[in-house]
Amino acid sequence: MPFTTRRMLSALLLPAGLIAGLVVAPGAANAAGVSATVQVAATLKVRNAPSQSAKIVGSVRKNQKVTISCVITGQRVAGTVRTTTAWDRIGTDRYISHAYVKSSGKIPRCAGKPAATKPAVKYVVGTVKSASGAVTLRAAASAKAATAGKLASGAKVDLVCSVTGDMVKGTVRSTAQWDRTRSGGYVPNAYIYSGKLPACPAPVKPAPAPAVKLTPEQFIKAAAPGAQAGWREYGVPASVTLAQAILESGWGRSDLSATSNNYFGIKCQDGKYGKLANGCRTVRTQECTKAGKCFETSAAFRTYASQAHSFRDHGSFLKVNSRYDGAFAYTKDANKFIMKVWKAGYATDPNYYTKVTGLMAKYDLYQYDTWK
């Protein structure tokens, strides 16, 4: 149920000649730096040294603009743009792999020595055993996660640690254990012979990506088409969708909307996130009882590839949950629709209905209820 009070080979050094097309002569970066755009599916980790084993000190998101001061060589990375050992410095002790970056010009080489990297991670050599072809390496411990490579039966793979993920029935065993490889991908242990692996440490929460600050008018203009498409597909009044998105995401500035594209606080249910979301994320949040008493708790919320996916899932969420059936008798009466949704238990805030309808009136969101 939505809440209503808001808030991922060894390191090889490139000979200077191989990156001549990428960098200019060594020296201090010019003050302005080089403008670049991050090309990644969701977010890219920022590290304190040019290595995927270095400490995570933040993250940047898809299409985010960054300023690169200089480039150095580090661990080889195969990314969405290229495979390279080049790493871009975007701040003091802050590096991202150039494998995920498109830059607007030549980048100067960093002067001096790069920050020291952590000692090599210990690993266990495993052997892939599959009677049904190559085993898919995933970006996370789930059969639904993005493909990160393929491992042929009999292949040797360096394993670092294990996590619990989707249950898999494989050639070796049936288990929910997934093994993280040295390259950062995950392989189901159901297809692996290896020694005992330690549990992976809890993931470090990345620093929230900076939210794009839109004016109310800009936010509404950007969100209206998705809200109207939601009415055509599911029957949820566009004014309701817009007002809920404004209230629950703080005009798109909340951590959940900025980092997970979740504009409505829709939660995962027992680890399930439906067809339109792409995962779950556990965060601290605030819940309120019907009596108005609020308290801090933790909950798993859905994550999305885009704002459009979040808006579609909002309509789908209301449509497929029978508790909200009564609201769909008023698909052309926005106030009655949201009243029924609220009464059915959508939100725990006792003032939720008043807040939503207040936004609808203040910003004349009813004008987007075209009923077409």
* Both tokens assigned to 246: 């404004």
Residue 137 sits in which domain range? 124-193
CA separation for the pair 276, 165 (Å, rounded):
20
What Cα–Cα distance (Å) separates residue 102 from each residue in 8, 79, 105? Answer: 18, 11, 9
Note whether 100 and 142 are same-domain residues: no
From 54, 82, 108, give the residue that closes a domain. Answer: 108
Structure confidence at residue 94 (pLDDT): 92
CATH number of the domain residue 60 falls in: 2.30.30.40
Residue 3 has pLDDT above 50, yes or no: no
CA separation for the pair 61, 127 (Å, rounded):
35
pLDDT in tens, 54-67: 889 889 999 999 99
In Å, the largest CA–CA distance within the chain is 69
What Cα–Cα distance (Å) separates residue 370 from each residue in 224, 229, 267, 271? Answer: 11, 11, 29, 36
Structure confidence at residue 307 (pLDDT): 85
Q: How many domains does the chain have?
A: 3
Instruction: Name the packing angle between helices 334-343 and 238-249 (round to 10°).
Output: 50
Note whether 174 and 229 are same-domain residues: no
298 vs 215: which has the higher pLDDT = 215
Q: What is the pTM of this model?
A: 0.45
Highest mean predicted confidence (pLDDT) among 17-21, 25-29, 185-189, 291-295 = 185-189
Q: What is the mean pLDDT of residues 185-197?
A: 94
Residue 39 has pLDDT above 90, yes or no: yes
CA separation for the pair 15, 303 (Å, rounded):
41
Note whether 299 and 328 are same-domain residues: yes
The pLDDT > 90 percentage for the chain reads 47
User: Is 313 a residue of the active site?
Assistant: yes
- In a domain, residue 202? The reply is no
Read off the pLDDT band of 117 (50, 70, 90): low
Note whether 100 and 131 are same-domain residues: no
From 74, 108, 142, give the residue that closes a domain. Answer: 108
Structure confidence at residue 203 (pLDDT): 58
* Both tokens assigned to 55: 């400490």
User: Is 287 a residue of the active site?
Assistant: yes
Note whether 151 and 257 are same-domain residues: no
100 vs 371: which has the higher pLDDT = 100
From 61, 81, 108, give the residue that closes a domain. Answer: 108
* Residue whose pair of structure tokens reads 């403008």 in the numeric block: 35
Note whether 95 and 186 are same-domain residues: no
- In a domain, residue 91? The reply is yes
Q: What is the mean pLDDT of residues 173-193?
A: 93
Note whether 154 and 61 are same-domain residues: no
Structure confidence at residue 237 (pLDDT): 95
Note whether 104 and 128 are same-domain residues: no
Catalytic residue among 255, 313, 349, 369: 313
Note whether 221 and 318 are same-domain residues: yes
The CA angle 310-312-313, to the nearest 5 degrees, is: 65
pLDDT in tens, 64-84: 999 999 999 989 888 899 999
Q: What is the mean pLDDT of residues 330-342?
A: 95
Catalytic residue among 93, 158, 166, 287: 287
CATH number of the domain residue 350 falls in: 1.10.530.10
Cα–chain center distance at 316: 21
Structure confidence at residue 42 (pLDDT): 87
Read off the pLDDT band of 129 (50, 70, 90): very high
Structure confidence at residue 210 (pLDDT): 53
Q: Any idea of the CA torsion for 346, 350, 352, 358, to the nearest 10 degrees? A: 160
Note whether 170 and 86 are same-domain residues: no
Read off the pLDDT band of 259 (50, 70, 90): confident
- Lowest mean pLDDT segment, chosen from 111-115, 124-128, 148-152: 111-115
Note whether 237 and 173 are same-domain residues: no
Phi, psi angle pair for 279, to nearest 5°: 160, -170
DSSP state of 267: B
Evaluate whether 30 touches 108 at the Cβ level (below 8 Å).
yes
**Position 274: which residue type?**
G
Note whether 354 and 254 are same-domain residues: yes
